[in-house]
Structure 1
Amino acid sequence: MTDDLSPTDRAKFAAARRAADLVEDGMRVGLGTGSTAAWLVRCLGEAVAAGTRLTGVPTSRRTAELAREVGIEVVTLDEARWLDVTIDGADEFDGALNLIKGGGGALLHEKIVATASDRMVVIADAGKAVETLGAFPLPVEVIPFGWQTTRALIEEALAGLDVATREITIRTNGAAPFVTDEGNHILDLHLGRIGDPHRLSAALNALPGVVENGLFLDICDTVVVGHGDGRAELRDLDAAAPAQAGGAAGAVSRDLDD
């Protein structure tokens, strides 16, 4: 029962459950990566068990494994060709529904899948809402060859951009650099505040060695914000005011595996 969950996990589940209601029979759905997206996959698995037909395109190996485990048909993006909706988490979102993503290390696949969809829906707890992006470290995926040179190029580029701080760290997995599903590394940019996300994104992606960055700009259509009391609030760029869905969140059959 969700009474056993922390307020944060209860909020994540509330957002995931509400987002799952947006998936209609026969849809092709992009499946995000991370703890909140894992709730969504489990909710969709229960819908499949109840008779809903859907096809999932996972954004990581671990999401693919979970989707198969709960009975969702998994295909590649090339097989699906185009998606009706992608539902994913976010590390931050602002009032214009711009995002920082990549805390789970799958930002490249996540951005490709999201932009191959008619609609992107983000699920998040209320703590992910910010006035200005940048408090969460910005992930930048880089190729392993010459990554320290790429880091130096990023440092040079940041010197001319509107950010509060400019610390860069390489993400690790134990003593070794973290490796993405595409075999790349991730540099985390500790910027504090990003004054011009569009300019920063363009500057980063113009650098040799950079594969992609975690700024998702003008991609997200709707954010479903979960609250610890079980409410879920929809923030939509096309809506005049947020809509809410209340009530205590119900149970799912498995515990979240972070």
Structure 2
Amino acid sequence: MIDLKGKRALVTGGARGIGAAIALALAENGADVAFTYQHASGKADAVAKSIAAKGRRGLAIQADSADPQAITRAVDEAVAALGGIDILVNNAAVGLNGMIADIELDAYQTLMDVNVRGPVLFAKAVIPHLPKGGRIISIGSGLAERVPFPGVTAYAMSKSALLSFTRGLSRELGPQGITVNLVLPGSTDTDANPADGPAADFQRGMSSLGRFGEPHEVASAVVFLASAAANVITGAILAVDGGAIA
């Protein structure tokens, strides 16, 4: 077990899927955890109760990651409730499938607002609160490194922006002793992309292990990067994808 006792984390999009697994894994290892959600209030309440059952403080904060004012408010609420923030996990994201020629402008703008501007604004709001040893960990996608089929160009583009964001921000925050890293999940068994879905066999065929990942496996990578074991790891891109981009 990794020791995160005394650490305070904010996870964006933490009510379900990978985000919920990350929030629970951080709590399991000793951190107090605030997390945002947009619509899934029932699931958010369940995650908060599970965090409390582990003996940690848990706080669900309703906030739209496309709304700059909601982002600032969420950070303020997390800081007030937890007494500060040591770890930011930028997980909230939306998907967008379709050919570039057919993309609607509103859908594209929402994609960029949540997947690109959201992590930037959350980081901007959190940085003043991060102490030496602080962490910013973003959740990207293996599609940022490789786009093996059509129809996901815009989504892949939004996730590839996190590569430069992570590398550049690691340079900016390194002198303060704050690390910045990026996790790239591959196909992961969630409600949004179930392992028994219509495209599941195709996705399994792209990985070296021949299977989907589980949310807790992505969460394990985040917990490691949040820990003292990763003190000198920064600006790094960690694929958790079963070898899909090997």
Bucket of the pairwise TM-score, normalised by the shorter protein:
0.3 to 0.5
Higher helix fraction: Structure 1 or Structure 2?
A: 2
TM-score, normalised by the number of residues in structure 2: 0.38
Larger radius of gyration: 1
Q: Which has the higher contact order (CA 8 A, sep 6+)?
A: 1
